[in-house]
Chains A and B, each alone.
Chain A
């Protein structure tokens, strides 16, 4: 046990077994981003997956919405210690988007409008673990929370769930993205408290 602070009792919100170590529960949906919020209209939006051979798979907004849609209920965990339990999203599973993609790569880099990047192993995007989400709580996803669409990889710290996502690049070797180059962990498992490196 660490240094005990006499007289500190706390709120005990972290007794919940759904909370990873060092997290507390919030009912709000705090916003964290490194710069101004990009405003992207669905008309100009597109999503791409680029393989190691340079092949580009591309979806317009209309094509994206025509794909099979999943409703997802999940907990999300921010590295700044808040967790929000039982959030509701609607979007397209990465399994659906990768159906026609052929690649030998094990790593990906997510790229966002505005220049944000984050690295996620391909295994963490497949198998019903990740989506491109465009609705939150039954409403259109607001720009501040990543709209028109964001990556949703809820089993990793939430900075991996890139807002304003515009594509995934398949990589032969793991490379750090934006926060990973600024002191944050390459993988980011909240249950192992992989916050900083």
Chain B
């Protein structure tokens, strides 16, 4: 665990959507991290004023580089700067990666159900990526993974091409639920995720999957309640809420 402040260099930026950008950072001395962890970023204004916010790590690589995907919040203090102003070559202060609970353990053979609301997909993507690079003969590497990703519309989807690629694995299933706008030609109209869709597409309680849910508070609360009602053990459900990780980052 790295709990002090370190200087990271921005080594690349990629636009994910019109409101989200992935920053690739190099943290000298970092030797990988656990999938699902987050970092704190501290920005300092020229007069010394500082602001700190937490962002989940999206990548799952062994070395000094991590990717963060940052969604711009309309009333945000830090996120607009990270989405619009930071450029490759800039330096940022970073604490972490930290967190020992909302993490996937590659030694755990359990099937895994990931459920994302919007930008909540970021730490779950780290788990999918860690799963994809794990030894296919290992406990975690041979575990089935499902992602249920609730998102406003096609233009708001992060990592689209990579998700399609990951879903080619017989172990991986990716379901997108469009809540406001369905893709052109989609057989079903846009609608909110409901308990019936969740039950139909998620791993059943009988499989005793490890469940990770990340999204806005209302989304996480609702989905977790549905899963418990469907027979999933509360001890198997781990949650992370963006409403809490920074109501107004």
Contact = CB atoms under 8 A, between A and B. Distances in A.
A66 interface: no
Contacts of A8: 43-45, 81, 85
Contacts of B248: 24, 26, 28
Interface size class of A (residues with CB under 8 A): 35 or more
Nearest to B101: A182
A36 interface: yes
B48 A1 contact: yes
A80 B98 CA distance: 12
Interface residues of B, number: 49
Contacts of B53: 81
B235 A182 contact: no
Given A5-B90, A13-B77, A81-B53, A34 B246 contact: no
Contacts of A36: 224-225, 227-228, 234, 237, 239
Contact of B244 (A10, A11, A78): A78
Interface string B73-103: 0000100010001100011110100111110
A177 interface: no
Interface in A47-104: 78, 80-82
Interface in A109-131: 114-115
Interface secondary structure of B, over-half rule: mixed
Contacts of B86: 5
Contact of B77 (A3, A11, A22, A35): A11
Given A1-B44, A37-B224, A144-B217, A80 B100 contact: no
Interface of B: 1, 3, 5, 7, 40, 42-46, 48-54, 77, 81, 85-86, 90-93, 95, 98-102, 217, 221, 224-225, 227-228, 234-235, 237-239, 241, 243-248
Given A8-B44, A37-B225, 19 more contacts: A2-B42, A2-B93, A4-B46, A5-B43, A5-B45, A5-B86, A7-B85, A9-B45, A9-B49, A10-B51, A11-B77, A30-B247, A36-B224, A36-B234, A80-B244, A81-B54, A81-B246, A181-B100, A197-B1
Interface of A: 1-14, 22, 24, 26, 28, 30-38, 78, 80-82, 114-115, 144, 178-179, 181-183, 195-197
